Amino acid sequence: MADTAVQVEHDHHGADAHHGPTGILKYIWSTDHKIIGMQYLFTGMFMAVIGGYMAYVFRMQLAFPGISVPGFGQVSPGEYNSLITNHGSIMIFWVAMPVLIAAFGNFLIPLMIGADDMVFPRINRLSYQIFLISALILLASLFVEGGGFGGAWTSYPPLSAVAEYNLTNLGSTLWLTAVALEFVAFLLGGINFIVTLMNSRAPGMKAYDIPLTVWMIVIASVLFMLSVGPLMAGAVMLLFDQTLGTGFYDPARGGDPILWQHLFWFFGHPEVYVVLLPAIGFVIDITATFARKKVFGYKIMLYTAVATAVLSFFVWAHHQFVAGIDPRMANVFTITTLLISVPIAELLFVMIATLYGGSITLKTPMLWALGFISTFLLGGVTGIFLGASGADIYLHDTYFVLAHFHYTFFPIAIIGTFAAFTYWFPKMFGRMMDERLGKIHFWGTIIPFNTIFIPLFMLGGIGQHRRIYNFEHFPELAEPWMFTLRQIATISLVIMLLFQFVFFYNVIKSWISGKKAGDNPWKANTLEWSTVSPPPHGNWPPAELPKVYRGPYEYSHPDREEDYWPQNEPA
Amino acid sequence: MSHAKPIATLRSATGIPTGRLAIWWVLASEVVIFGGLIAAYLMHRLGHPEWADAAAVTNTMIGTVNTFVLLTSSFTAVLAHQAAERGDGKKAAKYLVFTIGGALTFVCIKSYEWWYEISHGYTITSNTFWSFYYTMAGLHALHVIAGAIIMGVVAFDAYRGRELQRVELIGIYWHFVDVVWIFLFPLLYIAK
Amino acid sequence: MSDHSGHHDVNYKKIYFTLLFLLVVSVVGPEFGILWVTLVTAFGVAAVKAYLVIENFMHLRWEKKLMKWMLTSSLIVMALMFFGIAPDVMKHEGRNWVNQAAIAATERGIGGHGEEESAGEAVEMVEAEPGVFNAQSQYNIACATCHGQQGMGDGAAAAALNPQPADFTDPAFWTERDRDRIYTVIREGAAAVGGSPLMVAWQNTYNDEQIEALTDYVMGFQPE
């Protein structure tokens, strides 16, 4: 990092003299919310690379069955199971969660509400350390005898509960332990976020002056906290089934395997909204900034998010329509599932209405935000088919579900992350990212993404099932044209993964020699832009902690010459 | 490593002290963990009338004594809070030590009970009632042990007159552990 | 700390003795053996006790409304979870389904434990369980999923398996297999004799005697 940035940091240190460890320990043992946010961010990105590599390996096996995959070798059936299981688990629990909620939550919440840190900095650090241990346990599970867990990321018993069935005795136990620890880490982090927002807002910041990003992350934390408890209890029960030989999920011994499915999806479905809401928050903030326009319906947005959160507790059993649940319950869950598309559509309409009539600048973050809106829309629309129990019985467990899922999660976890990362990069590192490389990376990601999953929609429609190791074993799924579609998807994936090198190159290059960003490169209103970039420990000098005078989206106010009006500027 | 508290920790936009707000959120998340386990047990219990035979084996006497011990330790915990509020750290520490004593008594009685049951062949794998029995009581016992350890730290500080607000926080947590037991007691011992 | 210290003129001792009194009630009540008395004294009293502790010891009574909402919402979420899951887990049959395993477990439990009162005897029952080992019902639970109830290799999961599960009624199957081989495959899995790993080992689930019984049962499918 450049000398001047360090210089600025020192200047600010004068007053609040932080006596912590020095050297490298300063970064790995820090209680500063920004450093912890970065730790989460880079751990998450590292895991994303592993998850992407796994996707590459098993997609190669599916498109060209039996070939020796470059960089991996021949894929055995057991390895295939382990790869798809861990790809799913990593991308959701070790990429989407830590990056969207923990990384940006940690980095942004105190900055955006004008506080010097989280309310419990040391618990914050503990949360990251537990998360790191969980990631290490998961990675270790890939190398134990029998290989990593291969019972799918949903981990249904009896497959997951009985070592004789899944053939990965230690792998499944380590996987379950890692997931449970990861939940503990996010409970600690989530409580920290919630309490920080409730108690530590800058003077003058009322409920409707809080930027939507912060609201969304905190609503997501509450949602996570209320839904994860039963699954933690369920995970302990599954762990006992695996290790001690209890029969919680064994009907012959008085248990019930459906119970796990319920407990899993009681968490699993709200989880979708746990990761969705922060991404929505980033996108709406970015949209308002680059359209130079007030968010169309701040309160509508907020109430809709709350409604989504509440409704998300009523939809979980739509994952189990074919599991033999009570048909009357299936009716109820069909109705609630179709209902939840209403608030989600509303959120997208608010974004589109915010764009309407704005003076839009297509900088890289804005491109990502628009990419989010358009791809997530497709994901949402295909979900309608799956929500109706009648159609779902045909489509269940096909590639249609898989493609739908990726059309929602890719915009959330990948596009949302890139949007937020490119938007807040100047604040994080004090330098601008390269626009040209950023745009190359954007198009190189978004086009292949569509050509990966549109063929998979088609294959799903003709009934191609998920979790099949080699389609050559099924004559009706081994037609040449089907293999062509699979190969298109796989080649697109390879292209997309190659384009990520542009991103990493861009990050490193801009970090070292990017243009100096200044405090507020995007001319945005929210509080994080009122301090220097990158902000020092404590964010602002203690005497200059900001006060808030207005809402976060006062762009193009008619009475002002400037087209923005920072929240902390006295009237 | 001593840390100056961030300004964020001292702010209170809701009017509720930060520590107390956080401990209630912790409890709200604990409610769903225990709630999930209890709900799962309950629906199995209602669906399996034969579990009544297994439940008949649990020792109501021991359960009652343990309930008494926990209620009493809750009482001393609230007295510790009262003392801390008056600024009397030494007295608060004394009551906290009583509470820790209650926790230890509870754990000892629990160990004896489990030893007795296991030695008579009722292990965690005997049937699903016993699996639930050991899982629920075990999770609760873990909370008792964790609470006792934290309470030791808080008492140590309180004795020196430091961080007196923590006496209330650990007390709130302790009462919650007590409340969980109040529900586990009829579920596992009384209802035959 | 200081903001609500003024309210704390609670008589903690009184609450404590009330709690002890309620404890006695909840223990004595169920002794009568009347169902509704048991329910009220066990669970009703527990609710009252919990209420007293939460309101007075945890001082929820003086907290802001916000706090109460927080706790209520987590309780509502739990109630929602219970009522959403109970129709599938609690009941053993519905309009279009029957949970045979659960019904069997219940019948076994009631039949086996019915008269036993003392702990010692009940333990014997747990250990006596193998004596009533029923090869047919175990076959139907453990094997029929793939091999089919009639042993024809047409169980529900068979369609998804490659290679296909063995058809025991096929004479060709028996040309090169004897009883020892069947026993070994059940015990150690087909991979142990060079077959498919999809036929897993059962030695951790069943003891040797039970595997003998299962072998006999499978031998029964052999066409004459």
SS3 B136: helix
Contact residues, chain B, for C39 at CB < 8 Å: 191
SS3 A511: helix
SS3 B166: helix
Parts of chain A with a pLDDT under 50: 1-18
All residues at 6 or more sequence positions from A270 whose CB lies less than 8 Å from its CB, including other chains: A223, A224, A226, A227, A309, A312, A313, A316
All residues at 6 or more sequence positions from B8 whose CB lies less than 8 Å from its CB, including other chains: A110, A115, A116, A117, A118, A119, A196, A199, A200
What is the predicted pLDDT for the residue at A51? Answer: 96
Q: Is B190 near chain C, with CB under 8 Å? A: yes
Name the average pLDDT for chain B. 92
Query: Between residues B22 and C32, which one has the greater pLDDT?
Result: B22
Sign for the pseudo-dihedral over CA of A30, A35, A38, A42: negative
A contact residues 219-248, partner B, Cβ 8 Å cutoff: 225-234, 236-237, 240, 244-248
- How close B85 gets to chain A, by Cα (Å)? 22
C81 and A230 within 8 Å at the Cβ level: the answer is yes
Rounded CA separation A230/B35 (Å): 7
- How close B131 gets to chain A, by Cα (Å)? 6
Among the partner residues A167, A253, A266, nearest to C81 by beta-carbon distance: A266
Structural element, H or E, at residue A184: helix A169-199
Rounded CA separation B100/B147 (Å): 8
- How close B1 gets to chain C, by Cα (Å)? 25
Contact partners for chain B, using 3 or more CB pairs closer than 8 A, are A, C
Nearest in space to A498 (alpha carbons), one of A144, A29, A49, A18 = A49
CB atoms within 10 A of CB B72: 20
Length of chain C in terms of residues written: 224
Rounded CA separation A459/A464 (Å): 6
Tokens found for residue B181: 């037991």
Among the partner residues C1, C16, C43, nearest to B85 by beta-carbon distance: C1
B contact residues 116-135, partner A, Cβ 8 Å cutoff: 124-125, 127-129, 131-132, 135
C-alpha A266, offset from chain centre? 19
User: Helix crossing, A364-387 with A327-355: angle to 10°?
Assistant: 160
Average pLDDT over every residue of B31-36: 95
What is the predicted pLDDT for the residue at A6? Answer: 38
CB atoms within 10 A of CB B123: 18
- Three-state secondary structure along A7-45? HHHHHHHHHHCCCCCCCCHHHHCCCCHHHHHHHHHHHHH
Per-residue pLDDT tens over the stretch A277-303: 999 999 999 999 999 999 999 999 999
Nearest in space to B191 (alpha carbons), one of B52, B63, B70, B79 = B52
CB atoms within 10 A of CB B1: 8
On whether the CB atoms of residues B134 and B124 are closer than 8 A, the answer is: yes
What is the predicted pLDDT for the residue at A171? Answer: 93
What is the predicted pLDDT for the residue at A389? Answer: 84
What is the predicted pLDDT for the residue at C129? Answer: 46
The β-bridge partners of C98 are: C93
CB atoms within 10 A of CB C171: 10
Nearest in space to B186 (alpha carbons), one of C22, A109, C96, A487 = C22
From residue B82, alpha-carbon distances to B71, B75, B86, C2, C60 in Å are 17, 11, 7, 12, 15
On whether the CB atoms of residues B108 and B152 are closer than 8 A, the answer is: no
Would you say residue C131 has pLDDT above 70? no
On whether the CB atoms of residues C84 and A266 are closer than 8 A, the answer is: yes
B31 and C91 within 8 Å at the Cβ level: the answer is no
Rounded CA separation C161/A473 (Å): 10
Average pLDDT over every residue of C90-102: 77
What is the predicted pLDDT for the residue at A277? Answer: 96
Rounded CA separation C135/C138 (Å): 5
From residue B153, alpha-carbon distances to A412, B41, B73, C58, C138 in Å are 43, 34, 17, 20, 54
All residues at 6 or more sequence positions from A368 whose CB lies less than 8 Å from its CB, including other chains: A286, A415, A416, A418, A419, A422, A442
Rounded CA separation C187/C204 (Å): 9
Place of tokens 């009194």: C21
What is the predicted pLDDT for the residue at C152? Answer: 86
Q: What long-range pairs does A467-472 form, CB within 8 A, spacing at least 24?
A: A467/A81, A467/A84, A467/A152, A467/A397, A469/A61, A469/A77, A469/A80, A469/A81, A470/A61, A470/A65, A470/A66, A470/A77, A471/A62, A471/A65, A472/A65, A472/A66
Place of tokens 């509870």: B106
pLDDT confidence bin for C122, thresholds 50/70/90: very low
On whether the CB atoms of residues A129 and A28 are closer than 8 A, the answer is: no
- Three-state secondary structure along chain C? CHHHHHHCCCCHHHHHHHHHHHHHHHHHHHHHCCHHHHHHHHHHHHHHHHHHHHHHHCCHHHCCHHHHHHHHHHHHHHHHHHHHHHHHHCCCECCCCECHHHHHHHHHHHHHHCCCCCHHHHHHHHHHHHHHCCHHHHHHHHHHHHHCCCCCCCCCCHHHCCCCCCCCCCHHHHCCCCHHHHHHHHHHCHHHHCCCCCCCCCCCCCCHHHHHHHHHHHHCCCCC
B contact residues 67-86, partner A, Cβ 8 Å cutoff: none
Q: Give ∠ CA A548-C3-B25 in degrees, rounded to 5.
A: 70
Identity of residue C47: A
pLDDT confidence bin for C9, thresholds 50/70/90: low
SS3 A248: coil
Contact residues, chain C, for A262 at CB < 8 Å: 81, 84-85, 88-89
What burial letters (b/e) apply to A243-277, b meaning 16+ CB within 10 Å? eebbbbbbbbbbbbbbbbbbbbbbbbbbbbbbbbb
Q: Is B11 exposed, middle or buried (0-12, 13-18, 19+ CB in 10 A)?
A: buried
What is the predicted pLDDT for the residue at B3? Answer: 55
What is the predicted pLDDT for the residue at A451? Answer: 96
What is the predicted pLDDT for the residue at A375? Answer: 95
CB atoms within 10 A of CB A571: 5
Would you say residue B71 has pLDDT above 50? yes
Helices (H), chain B: 7-10, 18-47, 51-57, 60-85, 89-119, 128-159, 165-185
B contact residues 18-37, partner C, Cβ 8 Å cutoff: 24-25, 27-29, 31-32, 35-36
CB atoms within 10 A of CB A354: 22
Q: How many CB pairs under 8 A join B and C?
A: 161
Phi–psi pair at A69, nearest 5 degrees: -70, 125
What is the predicted pLDDT for the residue at A330? Answer: 86
Contact residues, chain B, for A228 at CB < 8 Å: 29, 32
B7 and A116 within 8 Å at the Cβ level: the answer is yes
Tokens found for residue A444: 């190189």
What is the predicted pLDDT for the residue at C8? Answer: 60
Per-residue pLDDT tens over the stretch B91-137: 999 999 999 999 999 999 999 999 999 999 899 988 889 999 999 99
B contact residues 73-92, partner C, Cβ 8 Å cutoff: 74-75, 77-79, 82, 85
CA nearest to B183 within chain C = C46
Would you say residue C116 has pLDDT above 50? no
Contact residues, chain A, for C205 at CB < 8 Å: 164
Contact partners for chain C, using 3 or more CB pairs closer than 8 A, are A, B
Would you say residue C124 has pLDDT above 80? no
C-alpha C218, offset from chain centre? 28
Q: What long-range pairs does A172-175 form, CB within 8 A, spacing at least 24?
A: A172/A242, A173/A239, A173/A242, A173/A243, A174/A137, A174/A138, A174/A140, A174/A141, A174/A144, A174/A149, A175/A85, A175/A86, A175/A89, A175/A138, A175/A141, A175/A148, A175/A149
What burial letters (b/e) apply to A97-132, b meaning 16+ CB within 10 Å? bbbbbbbbbbbbbbbbbbbbbbbbbebbbbbbbbbb
